[in-house]
Structure 1
Amino acid sequence: MKLLLTSAGISNMSIHNTLIELLGKPIAEANALFIPTAIYAIAGGASIAQKVICGSLGDPFCQLGWKSLGILELTALPSIKQELWVPMLQETDALLVGGGDCQYLCYWMQQSGLAGLLPSLLHKMVYVGLSAGSMIMTRFGTTYGNHILPAESDKSLGLVDFAIHPHLDHEWFPKNSLANIEKLAATIPVPSYAIDDQTAIKVTDGTIEVISEGHWKLFNP
């Protein structure tokens, strides 16, 4: 399993070099698919998705010079035969999963069937998460509540045994102070990583490494 779980994307050279290391090839030789689904559960989501794809909002993610970049919309997959989209995933080097609402993203990961395929795909493919796209792989997720889903819907997939709290001390997220995250981490029965937008977590076959040019803190349960 090869994961690069970021707070805000490929925000510095340390994270950029780690991505290349995980790919095992230059980005210009790698094919990528972007999943924007999570952002639709947030006000203005369609506009935000367009800006992330074009690279006009936030740190580089889609516009890194990929050999090819496609869009994979999870809400469409249940109505499409798997033989039309599974082979495309099998040929993809990097799956870019954008931010937004964890619960909404998790629901459509499961409904589309992608969640069940991920463990086998991630032996070759690199999973690159941004914010909620990172949190969904862990044991803890959040929800903005701007969706109509069954109340018992999961907020994360639990493929790694820790929690991520992104956007540490970001001016857009005043509740994401270290003190507030420490209180939240105390309620979670797994290790919690508070990471700022210059930090990412690399996971390779169970080995965890923090990649950072910024600030982060690990809270143990």
Structure 2
Amino acid sequence: MKLLLTSAGIKNPSIANALVEMLGKPIAEASALVIPTAAYPAGGPAAAWRIVSGRAMSPLCEIGWKSLGLLELTALPSIDAAQWMPVVRETDALLVGGGDPLYLAHWLQRSGLADVLPSLRETVWVAVSAGSLVAGPHLGQDLSDWQSPTGSVEALRLVDFGIFPHLDNPNMPEFGLADAERWAAALDVPGYAIDDQTAITVIDGEVAVVSEGNWKLFD
């Protein structure tokens, strides 16, 4: 799986160009499934609707996909995998919206999608905030207000570094540089603090930063 880990979506031409390169074709020729699940505990149904309808502050769905479907993780355990698994395997990109990382990780695992991800060699995981956090080795539970009914929840461990999103966003004072430094001090792996104009790409294990803003690597 290829990963495009962002703080706030496809915010600038550099990130958009990186996405096209990872897809191997124009966005207008690519299919995508959007996963808004993380939004529910963080902003409710309205937040999920904004992601799906392309009205969120983190561009994902509105960038001109050839086709777009909705993959709601909370529904998957109650339906036959044959109804959704083939579509997941055929799609070019999974668009993972922001919200609560713990809730998202819980439903990725309970839905069975987490088990499928390692086999999706050419699919691009296009993630915003919480969708980027769950790809790492740690979830950062201090960023979640949701409590799992089943106990501990594991991150996906698709990458071996952590992400601190929304660096120095004036509307999110809890994501300042001093906060990032405290976060990094508690890590046992490298960590990237990225602002909303920055993304991290991971292709065949090779990590690169794409940015028109500010970021910092804590190694």
Would the TM-score normalized by the shorter structure come out above 0.5?
yes
* Contact 1:135 1:164 (8 Å CA) reproduced: yes
- Work out the CA distance in 1 between the residues paired with 2:82 and 2:54: 31
* Contact 2:23 2:92 (8 Å CA) reproduced: yes
The offset of 1:147, in angstroms, is 4.5
* Contact 1:104 1:149 (8 Å CA) reproduced: no
- Work out the CA distance in 1 between the residues paired with 2:114 and 2:15: 25
1:9 paired residue number? 9
- Work out the CA distance in 1 between the residues paired with 2:105 and 2:139: 9
The offset of 1:141, in angstroms, is 1.8
Report which stretch shifted further, 197-206 or 59-68.
Answer: 59-68
1:125 aligns with 2:123: yes
Secondary structure (helix, strand or coil) at the match of 1:175 reads helix
Consecutive unaligned residues of structure 2, counting only runs of 5 or more, are none
Alpha-carbon spacing, 1:105–1:59, altered in 2? closer, same or farther (3 Å):
closer
Instruction: Report how many aligned residue pairs link the two structures.
Output: 217
Matches within 5 A, 1:1-221: 1-42=1-42, 44-121=43-120, 123-142=121-140, 143-154=143-154, 156-220=155-219
The offset of 1:148, in angstroms, is 4.7
Q: Let me know the Cα RMSD of the aligned residues.
A: 1.1
- Work out the CA distance in 1 between the residues paired with 2:181 and 2:112: 34
TM-score normalised to the size of structure 2? 0.96
The offset of 1:56, in angstroms, is 2.0
* Contact 2:58 2:128 (8 Å CA) reproduced: no
- Work out the CA distance in 1 between the residues paired with 2:28 and 2:166: 28
- Work out the CA distance in 1 between the residues paired with 2:167 and 2:138: 16
* Contact 2:3 2:203 (8 Å CA) reproduced: yes
Q: Which amino acid counterpart does residue 158 of structure 2 have in structure 1?
A: L
Between the aligned residues of both structures, percent identity stands at 56
- Work out the CA distance in 2 between the residues paired with 1:205 and 1:186: 28
The offset of 1:139, in angstroms, is 1.5
- Work out the CA distance in 2 between the residues paired with 1:32 and 1:60: 13
* Contact 2:102 2:146 (8 Å CA) reproduced: no
Q: Which amino acid counterpart does residue 108 of structure 1 have in structure 2?
A: W
* Contact 1:140 1:164 (8 Å CA) reproduced: no
- Work out the CA distance in 1 between the residues paired with 2:84 and 2:55: 28
- Displaced runs of 4 or more, over 3 A: none
Secondary structure (helix, strand or coil) at the match of 1:179 reads helix
Secondary structure (helix, strand or coil) at the match of 1:37 reads coil
Secondary structure (helix, strand or coil) at the match of 1:70 reads strand
TM-score normalised to the size of structure 1? 0.95
Secondary structure (helix, strand or coil) at the match of 1:200 reads strand
